């Protein structure tokens, strides 16, 4: 033991550490608490009794930890120090080995493996144990000796061995009987199985021939059934179409009868809405001139007020300059500086006014344009019903009579599925962000193509690195490891192309991660490669267009493919280049080494190659499908197909135009309202800027007039009169402007209320009524009903033709099925013969397997018994070999003799063992324990304990007050046998 740690145990409240070898030793009870069986089964009240009791907070748990010295590997743990801790509480009792929880049984097994024997608990001798042993009766000491010497264990093992020997004898007898039976049965089963297999082979040949014929017939019937299912599916679809057309015809008839009243109501409401709108517009037209007149007067008043106020301010400033400046020259200098600032400010105001004028003109122009576009779009809505009627009329003429090309369809579907799987594998092997970026770039380019813009960007984009080169499959691994995610870098002609793409990318708010390689910006220099047979430049093994030479040199130009890691290390150090082996082990020119296993099954280049091949095959299949379809459709069907395509094109255009018209009308209306809302604030801003411009121009004229005049401390009489006139004018203008403001606000409120009622109420409801009327127009008229009836007649004719072909197929299928049944009966007959023979063979085989398994089990059991017999002592090998060749009667007699001989041998072994263990006890003169004194009895007890420890050594020993009854001489002798002694009561010894 190195040291012992105690906390919360008995009198040790705080954590206390005892280092072994010092003068302070841990209490023996703490060590017994961890190692001894005495504390193995504690009840809750006993665990609580071991916890510390004293002042302060209550202790709820305690532990004792022992650190063992394992430098001699006595414990089966690969550490020099091993800690064993036991923790107890009111409801827990746990062991921890190196801070990991273990069971009590694991701890006991560990201690036993280290030398702490369960049958010898005397490696810990506590107080009173010496006296107890000295005064114990002879029977108890004899029992102790038998326990320590292993005699009790030996007796138990002996009884077990005798029992096993008896069982083994019975098993041997059964085994020999079964072996004889098994041998006979195995010979019989072998002959029978050979005969059955010959007959089975004949039956199997005839069954295979019949199955071949049945397969051919089933293939024919499968093709007919597939055609029938297709016809059935077409018929079901035609029935659905017929049902829909019948319901549609009925609905049209009901609508024709019931929409008249609704249309009258809507027309009446529309007329009322138009009258109200006209009335409100008239009211608005009457109020608007008044509002404009008041607004114009208010603007003139505000402008004149600003001019008068500025002029008065200039005069006051002129008066103050007499005290501000000391000379005329200083004043003139300041005036020139102010004039320069005013000129700059006036120019800025003029530019702002010009910009607002242009903005107002643009707003007015946009307003007129929006009104014009709105009227055009509104007119297009009126054509909606006519286009709809035309579409319905042509839709009734759509007939498609094509012969199915099932094989090509199935092959095409399989190839598409294969392509999708390859794409999924590539997505799994690549980051999601990178693939999203590739998809997003394709969306941007498709957007440019659809809009017909940025053609130079489309031509300047060349795809990703991986799609622009090829190489041998042997180099896939090293190329992928070298490039990494750079395989998915995007090659572009210039940085302008990448900028345009990124701008649209961000504008469309697309996901993903992209990295561009602009060829115009890449600075790539020629690299001097080493001339050696052990390495080649990677770029020399890539096949790509010379136009992309810069991009590929940028990615692969400084990498060598080497023969081995040793060559890679040497070349990377000598030429400062990255080196890689064919297996993907990489050596950086900076010294880093990377590599390991690379799963070639997930090669991205291989997946890309497979995807290209699948896309080519898919294109070929589609071309073949189109060729087969066109070759098997007559001229009439071609004409009808062209008509159908034209109708579908008109339909798509109509739907697109209708949706765009509705959305554009809504947008134009909103733009018009927005323009009207922003027009007035811009106009007010213009007025304010113009007033500010007039004030600054007035100030400039005043300063120019003052320049060169005499410096006066008081205003002249003319200027003073002008100030008085301006004061009177300003007061009058302020009063007039307040009146005009109130009047304008009142008129503006009336106009806003009328416009809101027009736009948010009357016009919205009018649009709803117009839309409902248009919808009614779409469903009205007998043209649609006539077209629907015509289409219904065509569907009925096709249903009749499909049904006739289906009946023909049923007749052919019935004939073929009868033929198949005849062959199947013959096949079933042969199969039954084969089945009977197979069952007989299987039965014999199972019986043979059971016999073999039983024999194997008995042989295994025999080996186990032999092994246990060998464990009892050494027996000659010839005896076992001779024993296996005996007859049953000889086995019985031999077994009985063996039992007797084994018992005798065990008895001799037991006697000899006890004699050897206790031989040293009879070398001296015998004396009775009653004749000895107390100290002598203790000495005898100690001698017995030391003898036990010599017989069954332990890793260490712990004695507690073993010298209690010894005299000085014996105490000194005992202490000489102990390597470490903790003395608490000092004496001469």
Give the per-residue pLDDT at 350.
Answer: 72
The answer to whether 905 and 165 have CB atoms below 8 angstroms apart is no
Helix orientation angle between 782-872 and 384-395, rounded to the nearest 10 degrees = 70
SS3 for 941?
helix
**Do 384 and 658 contact (CB within 8 A), yes or no?**
yes
Tens digits of residue pLDDT in 332-358: 667 667 667 767 777 777 777 777 767
Q: What is the pLDDT of residues 186-244, one digit of tens each?
A: 667 656 666 766 676 677 667 767 776 777 777 778 777 777 788 788 878 878 887 88
Give the Å distances, CA to CA, from 12 to 112, 801, 958: 29, 104, 20
Question: Could you report the per-residue pLDDT of 841-866, keeping only the tens digit for each?
Answer: 777 767 766 766 666 676 677 677 67
Q: Name the strand (E) or helix (H) holding 63.
A: strand 61-69
DSSP-assigned beta bridge partners for residue 578: 559
pLDDT at 431 over 90: no
Lowest mean pLDDT among 200-209, 921-930, 947-956: 921-930
Q: Take residue 272 and report the two structure tokens written for it.
A: 């009322």
Cα angle value 861/863/867 (rounded, 5°): 115
Confidence at residue 540, expressed as pLDDT on a 0 to 100 scale? 92
In the chain, helix, strand, coil percent, each to 5? 75, 5, 20
Between 148 and 426, where is the model more confident? 426
Q: How far is CA 6 from CA 31, 54, 63, 208, 926, in A?
A: 10, 16, 6, 84, 47
CB distance 530 to 560 below 8 Å = yes
Q: Give the residue from 319, 324, 331 showing the smallest Cα distance to 715.
A: 319
Q: Is residue 831 scored above 70 in pLDDT?
A: yes
**pLDDT for 496:** 93
DSSP strands (E only) in 419-496: 461-464, 469-470, 490-492
For residue range 443-472, list pLDDT tens digits in order. Answer: 999 999 998 888 999 999 999 999 899 999
Mean pLDDT of 749-771: 81
> What is the Cα–Cα distance from 686 to 268, expressed in whole angstroms?
46
Say if residue 699's pLDDT is above 60: yes
Q: Note whether 486 and 558 are within 8 A (CB).
A: no
- Give strand pairing partners of 9: 12, 51
C-alpha distances in angstroms, 357 versus 352, 426, 684, 694, 842? 9, 59, 12, 17, 105
What's the token pair of residue 348? 């800025």
Confidence band of 388 (pLDDT split at 50, 70, 90) = very low
More confident residue, 84 or 423: 84
What residue segments make up the domains of the chain, in order of their start? 1-114, 117-147+887-988, 430-602
The helix/strand/coil state of 211 is helix
pLDDT of 398 reads 42
Instruction: Say how many Å lie between the first and final Cα of the chain, rounded.
Output: 27
Residue 541 or 635, more confident: 541
Cβ neighbors of 355 (< 8 A, separation 6 or more) are none
pLDDT score for 510: 92
* 527-563 pLDDT per residue, tens: 889 988 889 999 999 999 999 999 999 999 999 999 8
Q: What is the CATH number of domain 430-602?
A: 3.30.70.1620
Structure tokens at 523: 């600075």
Q: Residue 609: how many CB atoms within 10 A of its CB? A: 16
CA separation for the pair 565, 593 (Å, rounded)? 10
Q: Which two tokens stand for residue 471?
A: 């190489």
Pairing of strands 958-959, 100-102: unpaired
Would you state the pLDDT for residue 358? 72
pLDDT at residue 405 in the model: 47
Rounded distance between C-alpha atoms, residue 931 and residue 929, angstroms? 5
Mean pLDDT of 6-10: 90
Tokens 């500025």 correspond to 310
Of 262-276, 385-399, 693-707, the range with the highest mean pLDDT is 262-276
Q: Which residues contact 979 (CB under 8 A, 6 or more apart)?
A: none
Q: Residue 535's pLDDT is what?
A: 93
Share of the chain above pLDDT 70, in %: 58
> What pLDDT score was predicted for residue 471?
92
Question: Which is more confidently placed, 875 or 789?
Answer: 789
Q: Which residue has the higher pLDDT, 989 or 715?
A: 715
Q: Which two tokens stand for residue 757?
A: 């009622």
Phi, psi (5° rounding) for residue 919?
A: -65, -35
Check residue 955 and report its DSSP letter.
S
Judged against a pLDDT cut of 60, whether residue 373 lies above it is answered with: no
Cα-Cα-Cα-Cα torsion 466, 472, 477, 478, nearest 10 degrees, comes to -90
Q: Is pLDDT above 50 for 172?
A: yes
Question: Is the confidence at residue 123, as pLDDT, over 70?
Answer: no
CA–CA distance, 811 with 818 (Å, rounded to integer): 11
Does the domain formed by 1-114 have CATH 1.10.260.40?
A: no
pLDDT in tens, 278-328: 888 888 888 888 888 887 787 778 777 777 777 777 666 666 565 555 666
Q: Render 285-326 in DSSP notation, one character per residue.
A: HHHHHHHHHHHHHHHHHHHHHHHHHHHHHHHHHHHHHHHH-S
Is 647 or 838 the better-scoring residue by pLDDT?
838
Per the listing, tokens 């694991």 go with 106
Separation CA 338–CA 344 (nearest Å):
10
Compare 666 and 86 and report the one with higher pLDDT.
86
Pick 478 or 144 by higher pLDDT. 478
Confidence band of 986 (pLDDT split at 50, 70, 90): very low
> What average pLDDT does range 496-512 have in this prediction?
92
More confident residue, 200 or 119: 200
Mean pLDDT of 901-905: 55
Least confident of 33-37, 95-99, 343-347, 657-661: 657-661
pLDDT category, 672, cuts 50, 70, 90?
A: low
CA atoms within 13 A of residue 326's CA, in its CB half-sphere: 0
DSSP symbol at 489:
P
546 three-class SS: helix
Position 967 pLDDT exceeds 70? no
Report the distance separating Cα 460 and Cα 413, nearest Å: 35
Return d(Cα 690, Cα 735) in angstroms, integer. Answer: 22
Between CA 896 and CA 889 the distance in angstroms is 11
Among 523, 560, 547, residue whose Cα is nearest residue 468? 547
Looking at residue 621, its pLDDT comes to 74
- Tokens 């398994």 sit on residue: 853
Instruction: Kindly state the tokens that stand for 98.
Output: 């190196």
* Entry pTM: 0.31
User: Which position has the higher pLDDT, 583 or 184?
Assistant: 583
Could you give the 3-state DSSP secondary structure of residue 406? helix
**Average per-residue pLDDT for the chain:** 73
Confidence of residue 396 (pLDDT cuts 50, 70, 90): very low
* pLDDT over threshold 60, residue 421: yes
DSSP letter, residue 762: I
Q: pLDDT at position 343, please?
A: 74
Asked if residues 914 and 106 have their Cβ atoms less than 8 Å apart, the reply is no
The lowest-confidence range among 642-651, 780-789, 819-828, 882-891 is 882-891
Q: Which of 522-536, 607-621, 675-689 has the lowest mean pLDDT?
A: 675-689
pLDDT higher than 50, residue 485: yes
What pLDDT was estimated at residue 384?
45
pLDDT digits (tens, 9 = 90+) for 132-157: 666 677 777 777 776 666 666 667 76
Q: What is the side-by-side strand order in the sheet with 535-537?
A: 535-537, 559-562, 578-581, 586-587, 593-594
Distance from chain centroid for Cα 968: 81
Query: Of residues 988 and 940, which shows the higher confidence score?
Result: 940
pLDDT digits (tens, 9 = 90+) for 597-606: 676 667 788 8
The pLDDT of residue 893 is 52
Distances (CA, A) of 428 to 45, 431, 475: 62, 7, 22
Q: Which two tokens stand for residue 213?
A: 């014929």
């Amino acid at each position: 033991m190195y040291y012992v740690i105690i906390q919360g145990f008995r009198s040790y409240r705080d954590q206390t550490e005892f280092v072994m070898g010092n003068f302070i030793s841990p209490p023996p009870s703490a060590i017994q608490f961890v190692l001894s069986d005495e504390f193995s089964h504690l009840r809750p009240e006993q665990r609580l009794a071991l916890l510390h009791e004293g002042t302060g907070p209550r202790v709820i748990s305690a532990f004792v930890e022992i650190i063992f010295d394992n430098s001699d590997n006595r414990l089966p743990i690969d550490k020099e120090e091993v800690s064993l801790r036991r923790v107890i509480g009111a409801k827990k009792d746990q062991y921890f080995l190196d801070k990991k929880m273990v069971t009590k049984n694991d701890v006991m097994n560990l201690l036993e493996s280290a030398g702490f024997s369960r049958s010898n608990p005397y490696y810990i001798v506590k107080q009173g144990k010496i006296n107890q042993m000295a005064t114990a009766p002879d029977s108890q000491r004899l029992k102790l000796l038998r326990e320590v010497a292993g005699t009790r264990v030996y007796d138990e093992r002996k009884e077990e061995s005798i029992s096993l020997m008896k069982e083994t004898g019975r098993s041997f007898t059964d085994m020999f009987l079964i072996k004889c039976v098994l041998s006979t049965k195995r010979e019989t089963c072998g002959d029978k199985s050979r005969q059955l297999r010959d007959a089975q082979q004949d039956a199997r040949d005839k069954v295979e021939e019949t199955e071949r014929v049945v397969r051919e017939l089933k293939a024919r019937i499968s093709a007919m059934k597939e055609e029938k299912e297709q016809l059935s599916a077409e018929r079901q679809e035609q029935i659905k179409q017929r049902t829909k057309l019948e319901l549609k015809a009925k609905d049209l008839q009901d609508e024709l009868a019931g929409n008249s009243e609704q249309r009258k109501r809507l027309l009446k409401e529309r007329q009322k809405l138009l009258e109200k709108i006209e009335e409100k517009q008239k009211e608005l037209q009457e109020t608007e001139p008044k509002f404009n007149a008041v607004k114009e007067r208010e603007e003139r008043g505000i402008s004149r007020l600003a001019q008068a106020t500025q002029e008065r301010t200039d005069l006051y400033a002129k008066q103050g300059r007499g005290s501000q400046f000391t000379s005329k020259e200083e004043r003139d200098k300041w005036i020139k500086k102010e004039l320069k600032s005013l000129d700059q400010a006036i120019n800025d105001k003029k530019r702002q006014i010009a910009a607002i004028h242009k903005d107002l003109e643009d707003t007015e122009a946009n307003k007129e344009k929006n009104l014009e576009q709105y009227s055009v779009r509104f007119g297009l809505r009126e054509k909606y019903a006519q286009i709809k009627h035309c579409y319905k009329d042509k839709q009734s003429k759509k007939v498609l009579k094509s012969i199915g090309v099932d094989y090509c369809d199935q092959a095409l579907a399989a190839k598409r599925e294969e392509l999708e799987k390859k794409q999924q594998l590539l997505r799994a092997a690549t980051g999601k962000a990178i693939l999203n970026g590739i998809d997003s770039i394709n969306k941007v380019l498709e957007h440019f193509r659809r809009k017909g813009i940025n053609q130079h960007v489309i031509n300047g984009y060349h795809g990703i690195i991986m799609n622009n080169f090829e190489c041998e499959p042997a180099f896939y691994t090293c190329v992928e490891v070298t490039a990494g995610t750079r395989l998915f870098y995007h090659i572009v002609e210039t940085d302008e192309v990448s900028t345009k793409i990124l701008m649209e990318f961000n504008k469309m708010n697309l996901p993903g991660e992209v990295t561009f390689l602009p060829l115009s910006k890449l600075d790539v220099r020629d690299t001097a490669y080493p001339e050696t047979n052990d390495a080649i430049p990677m770029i020399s093994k890539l096949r790509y267009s010379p136009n992309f030479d810069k991009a590929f040199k940028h990615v692969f130009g400084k990498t060598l493919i080497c023969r081995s890691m040793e060559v890679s290390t040497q070349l990377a150090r000598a030429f400062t280049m990255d080196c890689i082996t064919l297996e993907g082990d990489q050596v950086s020119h900076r010294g880093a080494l990377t590599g390991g296993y690379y799963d070639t099954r997930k090669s991205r280049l291989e997946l890309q190659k497979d995807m290209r091949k699948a896309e080519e095959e898919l294109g070929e299949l589609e071309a073949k499908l189109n060729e087969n379809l066109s070759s098997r459709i007559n001229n009439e069907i071609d004409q009808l197909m062209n008509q159908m395509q034209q109708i579908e094109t008109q339909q798509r255009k109509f739907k697109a135009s209708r949706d765009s018209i509705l959305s554009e009308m809504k947008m134009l209306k909103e733009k018009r309202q927005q323009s009207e809302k922003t027009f007035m604030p811009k106009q007010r801003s213009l007025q304010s800027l113009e007033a500010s411009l007039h004030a600054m121009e007035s100030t400039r004229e005043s300063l120019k007039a003052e320049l060169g005049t005499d410096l006066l401390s008081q205003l002249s009489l003319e200027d003073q009169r002008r100030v008085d006139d301006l004061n009177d004018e300003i007061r009058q203008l302020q009063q007039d402007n307040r009146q005009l403001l109130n009047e304008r606000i009142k008129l503006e409120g009336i106009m806003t209320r009328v416009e809101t009622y027009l736009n948010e109420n009357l016009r919205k409801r009018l649009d709803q009524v117009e839309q409902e009327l248009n919808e009614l127009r779409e469903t009205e008229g007998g043209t649609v009903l006539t077209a629907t009836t015509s289409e219904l007649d065509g569907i009925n004719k096709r249903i009749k033709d499909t049904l006739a072909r289906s009946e023909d197929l049923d007749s052919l299928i019935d004939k073929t099925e009868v033929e198949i049944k005849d062959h199947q009966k013959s096949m079933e007959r042969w199969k039954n013969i084969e089945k009977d023979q197979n069952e007989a063979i299987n039965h014999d085989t199972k019986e043979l397997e059971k016999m073999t398994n039983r024999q194997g089990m008995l042989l295994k059991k025999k080996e186990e018994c032999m092994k246990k017999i060998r464990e009892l002592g050494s027996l000659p090998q010839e005896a076992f070999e001779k024993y296996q060749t005996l007859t049953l009667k000889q086995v019985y007699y031999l077994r009985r003799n063996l039992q007797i001989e084994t018992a005798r041998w065990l008895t001799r072994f037991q006697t000899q063992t006890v004699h050897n263990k206790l031989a040293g006890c009879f070398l001296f003169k015998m004396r009775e324990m009653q004749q000895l004194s107390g100290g002598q009895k203790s000495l005898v007890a100690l001698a017995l304990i030391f003898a036990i420890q010599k017989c069954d050594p332990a890793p260490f020993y712990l004695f507690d007050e073993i010298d209690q009854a010894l005299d000085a001489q014996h105490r000194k002798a005992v202490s000489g046998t102990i390597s470490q002694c903790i003395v608490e009561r000092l004496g001469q010894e």
